């Protein structure tokens, strides 16, 4: 019997890399799924490609999402990236890479790819502790999406399959996620979570995402092998 | 107080035109939302534009969805369109304009547009009676999507807003839908539901969608003003 197939949402960041590693550890063949939704993400997508290859994904699918049709004010990509904020200051305002109804759109495409590839399992690296401001990262949201998904497709309705949404990081701290990744041999130098990387791809080290990531490594007493702008 | 705003999914076909007319009758200002997901749809999108304008939508947003990244076999647009099938034969096989997890993807983008425009209401022209083969056209699916949507966005979670998904046609026959549209002054000559229109935009009159539509008009003893290929 061939290994079961899973769809893994892969952003190129640290959390989703660990999520993919966990899916692989569970012996799933994986379709990594990323989205191209704006100009800041070229480096993220390159990171996602490298992570998908390093962790042995069967295929890496990149879906273009163009929300410019929603109008200029909807997507805030021209705002300056906040720097040097403390973790407790971060849940203020709309993040720079704002996509409305983000996880709902991402999971919907994952469900579509699952339908096409006959996969019953979807992995998403959401996490409640570090980002309490996002309602679509909570367990009750994941549960409701699962209930909807199991009414949405023919396979689910025929009783031949049930879609399971795995959110294995949901209750973990950043340090715990990093530790799990290290245990599984994830090469974090390939991952990129920076909201404002330099031209050459180096992470800024000062945006919210870099701050949380560096704090996680510091708590573990480990070095982040990601390349940063000289500090 | 300004009129409340609603998002209306608009395909260019008959059902969604009546749905938009119903939303307008309920005094909503409307954002019509269509999707561009393949080459057969140029005429449908032109119809959607004409319907949105005729029924006074505030704006018509067209989102490009490119699922070619899913791989060639996923989208069946090169198959021949079945012709001259009886209504009872139609729930066989994958329809020609197949988008996996279709209504889930469409409603997710509607939810995103609702978030951006501060709309609390989303209208979708799904219908159980004519298309019993589609699980994502059933009331229980719509209910589950609504429950998920109300856990997905900050507005919903803060208690400032509740998203309602309206599916006003869900229990109606095609003839009842057409009658409602006629009552509301919908110009059905603008709408296009044909799966295989001619180069000049004329409907084929023989695909499943044309067959159901013509049957509906016939039951009412009314003439369909849509232009058809000479029969």
Residue B184 clears pLDDT 90, i.e. is over it: yes
Q: State the Cα–Cα distance between residues B189 and B46, nearest whole angstrom.
A: 12
Please give the backbone phi and psi of residue A126, each rounded to the nearest 5 degrees, phi first.
Answer: -70, 160
Nearest neighbour of B144 by CB, restricted to A67, A140, A148: A148
Identify the band that residue B74 occupies on the pLDDT scale cut at 50, 70 and 90: very low
Calculate the alpha carbon distances from B83 to B90, B196, B206, B210 in Å: 10, 9, 5, 9
Identify the band that residue B229 occupies on the pLDDT scale cut at 50, 70 and 90: very high
Strand partners of residue B5 = B29
Task: Check residue A209 and give its pLDDT.
Answer: 86
Instruction: Decide if B150 contacts B137 (C-beta within 8 A).
Output: no
B69 and A64 within 8 Å at the Cβ level: the answer is: yes
Asked: is A5-68+80-220 a CATH 3.40.50.620 domain? The reply is: yes
Per-residue tokens: A53: 């290859």
Is the four-CA dihedral A129, A134, A135, A136 of positive or negative sign?
negative
A141 and B151 within 8 Å at the Cβ level: the answer is: yes
Please indicate if any CB of chain A lies within 8 Å of the CB of B100.
yes
Mean pLDDT calculated for residue range B129-157: 84
Q: State the Cα–Cα distance between residues A50 and B154, nearest whole angstrom.
A: 33
Nearest neighbour of A108 by CB, restricted to B108, B113, B138: B108
Task: Check residue B196 and give its pLDDT.
Answer: 84
Q: What angle do CA B158, A134, A12 make, to 5 degrees?
A: 165
Q: Give A213's contacts (C-beta < 8 A, 6+ positions apart).
A: A14, A174, A193, A224, A226
B151 and A157 within 8 Å at the Cβ level: the answer is: no
Starting from the edge strand earliest in sequence, which strands make up the sheet with A5-9, in order?
A: A59-64, A29-36, A5-9, A121-123, A164-166
Identify the band that residue A79 occupies on the pLDDT scale cut at 50, 70 and 90: low
Q: What angle do CA A163, B103, B159 make, to 5 degrees?
A: 85
> First vs last Cα of chain A: how many Å apart?
52
Task: Supply the Cα-derived Rg of chain A in whole angstroms.
Answer: 17
Please indicate if any CB of chain A lies within 8 Å of the CB of B137.
no
Asked: is B5-66+77-220 a CATH 3.30.540.10 domain? The reply is: no
Per-residue tokens: A215: 């704090």
Residue that has been written with the tokens 């945006």 in this structure: A207
Q: Which residue of A has its CA nearest to B62?
A: A69
Of residues A156 and A21, more confidence is placed in A21
**Which chain B residues are within 8 Å of A61, Cβ to Cβ?**
69-70
Q: What is the pLDDT of residues A175-229, one digit of tens each?
A: 999 999 999 999 999 999 888 888 888 999 998 889 999 999 999 999 999 999 9
User: Any idea where the domains of chain A sit in the sequence?
Assistant: 5-68+80-220
Nearest neighbour of B66 by CB, restricted to A64, A99, A102: A64
ipTM: 0.89
Nearest neighbour of A152 by CB, restricted to B62, B104, B113: B104
Instruction: Decide if A85 contacts A51 (C-beta within 8 A).
Output: no
**Which chain A residues are within 8 Å of B94, Cβ to Cβ?**
none
Instruction: Decide if B64 contacts B36 (C-beta within 8 A).
Output: yes
Please indicate if any CB of chain B lies within 8 Å of the CB of A10.
no
A144 and B147 within 8 Å at the Cβ level: the answer is: yes
């Amino acid at each position: 019997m061939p290994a079961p197939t899973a769809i893994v949402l892969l952003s190129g960041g640290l959390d989703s890399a660990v999520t993919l590693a966990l899916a692989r550890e569970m012996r799933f063949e994986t379709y990594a799924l990323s989205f191209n939704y704006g100009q800041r993400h070229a480096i993220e997508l390159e990171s996602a490609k490298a992570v998908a290859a390093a962790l042995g994904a069967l295929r890496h699918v990149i879906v273009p999402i163009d929300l410019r049709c929603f109008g200029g004010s909807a997507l805030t990509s021209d705002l300056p990236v906040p720097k040097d904020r403390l973790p407790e200051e971060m849940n203020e305002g709309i993040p720079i890479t704002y996509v409305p109804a983000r996880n709902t759109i991402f999971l919907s495409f994952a469900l579509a790819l699952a339908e096409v590839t006959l996969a019953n399992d979807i992995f998403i690296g959401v996490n409640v502790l570090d980002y309490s401001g996002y309602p679509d990262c909570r367990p009750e949201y994941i549960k409701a999406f699962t209930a909807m998904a199991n009414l949405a497709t023919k396979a689910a309705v025929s009783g031949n399959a049930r879609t399971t949404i795995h959110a294995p990081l949901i209750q973990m701290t950043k340090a715990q996620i990093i530790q799990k990744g290290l245990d599984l041999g994830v090469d974090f130098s390939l991952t990129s979570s920076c909201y404002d990387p330099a031209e050459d791809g180096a992470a800024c080290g000062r945006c919210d995402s870099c701050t949380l990531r560096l704090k996680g490594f510091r708590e573990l007493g480990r070095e982040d092998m990601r390349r940063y702008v000289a500090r």
